[in-house]
Amino acid sequence: MESMTLKCPVAIKAKVTERLKKQMAVEIQEAIKNADHELQQIEFHAKRAMAEQARMDAQGLTALRQQIEAEKQKRIEFKNHATEKLKETAELQVGAEITQGTMDRMVSIKVGDNLHDILAAEILLEDGKIIAFRS
């Protein structure tokens, strides 16, 4: 066998710009707003569900209350995490590089290739445009 084709991850990094910071902040604020909306929906549906459960089976009320509180707690924890992320985003330095995720690529390798270089591949973006390939 002379060569082999592999599926390898490629890190996607972005150069921090004012535009990227604003975009990230808007996305995080939208997620926080959605979490607030979900909390309101949980409260609204919880009252009805608790009243219905109390009529049907009062013993199941405690379990339902715990389930509702667990759902509310998930949203609250998400909001707290998102708020922290918003603070971190505001503190990002313009020109710094941040990881935005990974993608897969197909690579043909052969004997003698440096696998570490192949696995260390990155794509650098600036405001959504590719500005560099790195390995």
Sign of CA dihedral 27, 33, 36, 42: negative
**Domain boundaries in the chain?**
1-17+94-135, 18-93
pLDDT of residue 80: 96
pTM of the model: 0.74
Distance in angstroms (rounded) separating the CA atoms of residues 129 and 87: 25
And the tokens for 30?
């939208």
pLDDT of residue 75: 94
Burial 90-108 (b: 16+ CB within 10 A, else e): eebeeeeeeeeeeeeeebe
pLDDT of residue 65: 85
pLDDT, tens digit, for every residue of 53-93? 777 777 777 888 888 899 999 999 999 999 999 999 999 99
Please choose, from the candidates 17, 10, 23, the residue with its C-alpha nearest in 3D space to the C-alpha of residue 98.
17
pLDDT of residue 117: 87
Distance in angstroms (rounded) separating the CA atoms of residues 68 and 58: 16
Q: What whole-number percentage of the chain has pLDDT above 90?
A: 72
